[in-house]
Amino acid sequence: MPFTKERPAIYYQKGGNGNAIIFIAPPAMGHLTFRYQRLLEKNFTIITFDNRGDCRSEHNDPLCFEQLTYDIKKILDENNITKAIICGYSNGGLIAQQFAISYPEYTSALILMGGYHAPKNLLLRTEYKIGIAIAKKQWIPLLAKALSFNHFSNKNDAKEMEQEIKRTNPEMLAKQYQLGLDYDNEHELHHITVPLLIIYGANDHYVHPYQHIFRKKIEDVDVAYIHHSKHQVPTKFFHECNAIIYEWTKRKKLI
């Protein structure tokens, strides 16, 4: 099991060949969020990992966005990867954006699944507050079951993720949700100069309006919709999601 040498030790998996894509999960969900994106290993080096405090990764206190983005740099450095496509799902997209802003020299492109720049609408903010409450009450087994079976149709895959999420540190999880709730990078988005792809579920209506801010602030933006999908595009509609990533990176000459 590969962990970063520098502490806190971050658990990650790497496979495939070619230009690297590193995938960033929402709080607690970890590397198995992108188990189906490993199908892209025929064309890319695929890296998945657990955010610090989540699943198998170690943690320390206090927690801040600078640490979450530094962990990505740490993984890339330890694997001698100088540039990568940075892909974040849901709240992981906030970390991906901050990485692109903080480490532009490491970023060749940015992909957001269910992307937003800040949880400003009522539904998103409520979801974050529920996550904070669950973490503070240490109801991690309940959260693990809800997240895993909401994301995976395959019961074995859902059960495997459930067991991984149960490893998550509840205190760090509450802080990770709070960081996401407080995050807003609208005034920094113009610093992102690499191509941006946003993949939305066609039925994930409450995040669609965020694309207008991205289009306004970033020069090179493409938006793709997956028919019939809600928020869980990397797991419930992985064939379509992977095809969009492959075709877009090919068009942008990132393969």
Structure confidence by residue, pLDDT tens digits, 107-138: 999 999 999 999 999 999 999 999 999 999 99
Q: Which two tokens stand for residue 240?
A: 């379509």
Q: What is the largest CA-CA distance in the chain?
A: 47
pLDDT given at position 192: 98
| Residue 255 pLDDT level (bands cut at 50, 70, 90) | confident
Which CATH number is 233's domain given? 3.40.50.1820
Task: Give a yes or no: residue 160 inside a domain.
Answer: no
Task: Give a yes or no: residue 204 inside a domain.
Answer: yes
Tell me the C-alpha distance between 59 and 62, whole Å: 9
Q: Which two tokens stand for residue 71?
A: 């962990």
Task: Give a yes or no: residue 2 inside a domain.
Answer: no
Structure confidence by residue, pLDDT tens digits, 57-108: 999 888 999 999 999 999 999 999 999 999 999 999 999 999 999 999 999 9
Task: Give a yes or no: residue 239 inside a domain.
Answer: yes
Q: Which two tokens stand for residue 96?
A: 């991906």
Question: What one-letter code names the amino acid at 92?
Answer: G
Tell me the C-alpha distance between 6 and 21, whole Å: 21
| Residue 219 pLDDT level (bands cut at 50, 70, 90) | very high
| Residue 242 pLDDT level (bands cut at 50, 70, 90) | very high
Task: Give a yes or no: residue 232 inside a domain.
Answer: yes
Q: Which two tokens stand for residue 74?
A: 């740490």
Strand duo 221-226 + 107-113: pairing: unpaired
Q: Which two tokens stand for residue 14?
A: 């790497």
Task: Give a yes or no: residue 111 inside a domain.
Answer: yes
When divided into structural domains, the chain yields a total of: 1
Sorted by sequence, the CB contacts under 8 Å of residue 243 that are 6+ apart come out as none
Tell me the C-alpha distance between 38 and 16, whole Å: 8
Question: What one-letter code names the amino acid at 26?
Answer: P
Q: Is residue 1 predicted with pLDDT exceeding 80?
A: no
Task: Give a yes or no: residue 227 inside a domain.
Answer: yes
Task: Give a yes or no: residue 66 inside a domain.
Answer: yes
Domain span at residue 68 reads 12-119+185-251
End-to-end CA distance of the chain: 28
pTM for the model = 0.97
Burial 6-19 (b: 16+ CB within 10 A, else e): eeebbbbbbebeeb
CA 99 to chain centre: 11
**Residue range 170-183: average pLDDT?**
97
